[in-house]
Amino acid sequence: MKKIQISPSILSADFSQLGAEIKRLEDGGADMIHVDVMDGHFVPNLTIGPPVIKALKKYCSLQFDVHLMISPVHKYIEAYAEAGADIITIHPEATDNLKESILKIKSLNKKVGVSLNPESKIDLLKNILDQIDLVLIMSVNPGFGGQKFMPEVLEKIKELKKIQAKNNINFDIEIDGGINFDNCQLAIEAGANILVSGTTIFKSNDGDIKKNINLLKLK
């Protein structure tokens, strides 16, 4: 079984002091930093762009796990890579040519992730699972933090685990959306090895980040 990793979402951080918040996450035992990039078009919210990522990189040494919820995504990949994204995750529906976008990310020496919204089918990934590093399963409809977890998406994770075993391919399975102490075990048991969580990490137990990260890892 792969090591369980926590990728805290800075969508729930104090935006007036993001640099300090990222340092707190690193000190608290986060494995990477999850950055939600939204364009107000592909999803109904606007967040941050490449200059913010570039500025934040100097505050910690962790990998930046950047989830691009923007459309069309292809023309923005290079800007986020140059800003300091280490993992770039895109949606199949946000590009005209998924394979081309995957190759673009790889050509920039970045890890490739592909994300599925709750209603998106695994069939969208059928021919590319051996070319990517990560599948991100959304357990809420993307756009805003603090939403309720959708347990039905766990079936997708179980299906991905079967595909991995059958075809002997290896990629991380990440889950994002409403992850908390009540459902993290379900996600891990289904086969997820990277948990994205925002509200739970920043707000639970009086903001004790280290404690919250360990609880999500079932420690």
Residue of 31, 39, 133, 176 with catalytic role = 176
Is 146 a residue whose pLDDT tops 80? no
CA distances, 172 to each of 39, 83, 132, 137 (Å): 26, 23, 9, 11
Tens digits of residue pLDDT in 72-99: 999 999 999 999 999 999 999 999 999 9
Has 36 been annotated as catalytic? yes
Q: How far apart are CA 33 and CA 5, in angstroms?
A: 11
Q: How far apart are CA 90 and CA 135, in angstroms?
A: 10
Is 123 a residue whose pLDDT tops 80? yes
**CB atoms < 10 A from the CB of 2, how many?**
11
Question: Pick from 121, 122, 111: which is nearest to 163 by CA?
Answer: 122
Tens digits of residue pLDDT in 181-207: 999 999 999 999 999 999 999 999 999
Asked if 143 and 38 count as a contact pair (C-beta separation under 8 A), the reply is yes
Percent of the chain, pLDDT > 70? 99
CATH numbers and ranges of domains, the chain: 5-216 (3.20.20.70)
Enumerate helices (H) and strands (E) in the chain, giving the number of each.
8, 8
CA distances, 6 to each of 60, 81, 93, 190 (Å): 15, 22, 26, 16
pTM of the model: 0.96
Residue of 31, 36, 133, 172 with catalytic role = 36
Which pLDDT value is given to residue 133? 98
Is 143 a residue whose pLDDT tops 80? no
Over residues 17-28, the mean pLDDT reads: 97
Asked if 213 and 201 count as a contact pair (C-beta separation under 8 A), the reply is yes
For the chain, the average pLDDT equals: 95
Which pLDDT value is given to residue 147? 77
Has 130 been annotated as catalytic? no
